[in-house]
Amino acid sequence: MRRPSVVPPHISVLIRMFCVWMIIFSLLRMGLLLRNVHFADDVPLQTLLQSFFVGARFDAAITCYLLSPLLFWGLIPFYGLQYQTRMLRFFPWLLSLVWSPLIFLGLAEFEFYREFHDRFNQLAIQYLLDDHATVISMVWNGYPVIPYLILWLVLTVLMGYALKLQINTTPLTSSFTWKTYLGKVLPVGLVLAAVLVIGARGGIQQMPLRWGDAYFSRNTFANHLALNGIFTLSKAALERQRHVLSRFWINRLPQEHALATARQLVLQQGDRVISDDGYALLRYPGSAGRTLAYDHPPRNVVLIIMESLSGEFVGTMGAPYGATPNLDRLAQKGILFDRFFSQGTHTHQGLFVTTCSFPNLPGFEYLMKNNLGQQPFRSFISLLHEQGFRSIYVYNGSFTWDNQEGFFRNQGMKYFVGRDDYRNPKFKDPTWGVSDEDMFLRGVEEISKLAAQGPTFALLQTLSNHAPFNLPAPAPFSGLSGPEELMPRLNGIRYSDWALGRFFDLAGREPWFNDTLFVIVGDHGFAYRSPMAMMDLSSYHVPLLLYYPRDAKGANRKIHTVGSQVDVLPTVMGLMGIRSLSQSWGRDLFRLAPADQGWAVIKPSGSGQTVGLVKGDRLFVISPKLNPSAYQFRLNPWTATQISLSPETAAVLSEELHGYIQTGINALMTFRAGVPADRMRILKNSRGTSYSGETFSGSTTFGKGTKKAAHMP
């Protein structure tokens, strides 16, 4: 006699449905591969097979979401799935009909990938929302619609038949007893519910599954193959819904007017603007008006992003705590910008904005985790790779945090060293990772290896100056002074500064040291005083230090020009003598006009819509549902006093903020924030001959007349 199963029949059906969907998703992935097999010419078979194993995790996550409603229906007493035997004749076909659009999307993605070289994203949603007649006509006339419709029908019928087979071979019953329900159905159902929750989030790891988790190899196609199109499309839809919050900043100005305003803010005299294809700020940088040029351009670039390095705590910028003696000594050898600002209060924004020179925008604060962040930005990595540079990212913590590895691999970063790659670290914080000393020691080692092979770009990011401030003991420093409530933070800053000094002591002995441009910038500051204004600038005030040991002409310079993290990339490229095609949203700070005080657009981290514009010692803030406000401020220590602006000045400043942000959001949403490789090849081949462009002269025409940038009185 057959023993009764521990698993209730209807739950057994769900498990079998899970298997059916996993097979369907594998078939769709195989179809995507076969339809786009030319992208796999240089991909080893082992890597392609691994794409299927990695992709199974994404397939399982989507399947868990699909099965969750059925599980909860099955757990309803008296009315659950297993008691509705009268529905069994039609249920498999009804379910197949409900689920069939997902199969259709899977098939449609074959052609989407062939066209756009990417899995479903915001662009797919944009097509769905565009002029339907035009889109339908384009699809009907440009793609093999009939064969796909036939294949869709066949797969839908096969799925219905498979579901019917699973249900028919499962002994469901229409009888209900509380003993069976409480003793078997409910306990097993709750266990399965927990399994579905774990599966839907991709496992029991700290962060839910993200697209960056599919980036297991250096081959982009293999990484894309591992993704699930329903997963990426769902994420894109959710992100788009969140972006509804940004409508305050969208379409406030006519698009051409907004574009002209953004160009007036960003472009510099002599820039050669590429005006086709809708790329707002695509240009070849000019050289007019340069105030600093090295006799021997640096061979290497080391970008050091310091966790929570607030300008309010840097000694050479006026802080009294004695927390940054090493940075202060370096400032005597280099160029310090002391009115420099981050674009957010989280490392995510500082890291992204600094490396890609694309601003932190309302509704898009986490682009490294956002599908829109998959665009090929004209970043430090891409620009320097084109010059033959090797690249490495050395970090104390886990690269899964903020989807860092997925994002930077997609941008072209070659080598990574994270918390699990350190050999016998001197100190390891259980919360975040190894100490800054360990990170810097490893940084010297890795840079030495790469620099021996050729020009090198290294991104180093610190982490020790972060709550809960677990630092090595005993402390390798002394001499701090400050309020007791600030001592944990001051100790963190001082330790990071000590580790920075250790890095330069060791790097100074290496053959690559003198040929390297060192760029040190804080990822953000932090608030510790009264806000005094709608935007607390102490949370954003950070140092930017440029140090090139080989050329002393920039030694011991302190520059008071206002700038922000979008300015780091164009400034460094200018010092390197690199005038490659750029789409930076900042400016080369050594090419400003003499009277230009600089500007910084600041967007607080989070979902709020408040945005500030800093010019000189004035702060102008716009927030929905509130009147714009203006302040005169001072740094070190941060203080602010509200002031009144003339209606004309306020209108121009408001126009500049709206134009800059609206143009940025439009570029992001239309996938014009980055430049695809095939478009880059065309632009490079046409440089200096037939590209559609103009040389920027410093003014921009808005219909009638010419508009000049506003300065606050």
| Domain boundaries defined on the chain | 9-241, 250-283+659-713, 297-587
| Cα–Cα distance for residue pair 165/20, rounded to 1 Å | 11
Q: What is the DSSP letter of 423?
A: S
Tell me the three state secondary structure of residue 516: strand
Report residue 276's pLDDT band, with 50, 70 and 90 as the boundaries. low
Closest listed residue to residue 604, CA positions, set 627, 621, 588, 583: 621
In this structure, how many other beta carbons lie within 10 angstroms of the beta carbon of residue 497?
27
Closest listed residue to residue 301, CA positions, set 451, 458, 453, 416: 458
pLDDT (tens digit, 9 = 90+) per residue, 197-219?
Answer: 898 888 888 778 887 788 788 67
Count of alpha carbons within 13 angstroms of residue 455, beta-carbon side: 15
Chain-centroid distance, C-alpha 183: 48
| Cα–Cα distance for residue pair 469/491, rounded to 1 Å | 8
Q: Record the tokens describing residue 112, joined without a space.
A: 């989407």
525 in Cβ contact with 342 (< 8 Å): yes
Chain-centroid distance, C-alpha 60: 25
pLDDT (tens digit, 9 = 90+) per residue, 390-400?
Answer: 999 999 988 88
φ/ψ bin of 520: left (φ > 0), alpha (ψ from -120 to 50), beta (otherwise): beta
Given a cut of 50, is residue 233 above it in pLDDT?
yes
- Which residues, in sequence order, are bridge partners of residue 302? 458, 518
Q: What angle do CA 381, 386, 392 make, to 5 degrees?
A: 35
pLDDT at 638: 86
Tell me the whole-structure pTM to 2 decimals: 0.76
| Cα–Cα distance for residue pair 213/410, rounded to 1 Å | 11
- The average confidence (pLDDT) of the chain is 85
DSSP assignment of 566-607: GGHHHHHHHHHT----B--SS--TTS--TT--BEEEE--SSS
| Third-level CATH fold of 297-587 | Alkaline Phosphatase, subunit A (3.40.720)
520 in Cβ contact with 304 (< 8 Å): yes
| Cα–Cα distance for residue pair 281/674, rounded to 1 Å | 11
More confident residue, 109 or 240: 109
pLDDT (tens digit, 9 = 90+) per residue, 7-57?
Answer: 666 677 788 888 888 999 999 999 999 998 877 877 899 999 999 999 999
| Cα–Cα distance for residue pair 579/328, rounded to 1 Å | 31
Q: What angle do CA 53, 59, 62 make, to 5 degrees?
A: 160
Q: Record the tokens describing residue 649, joined without a space.
A: 């000045």
The structure tokens 């420093």 sit at 477
pLDDT (tens digit, 9 = 90+) per residue, 281-308?
Answer: 999 999 888 999 998 999 999 999 999 9
Q: Record the tokens describing residue 274, joined without a space.
A: 């590429």
Report residue 704's pLDDT band, with 50, 70 and 90 as the boundaries. very low
Q: Record the tokens describing residue 450, joined without a space.
A: 């790469």
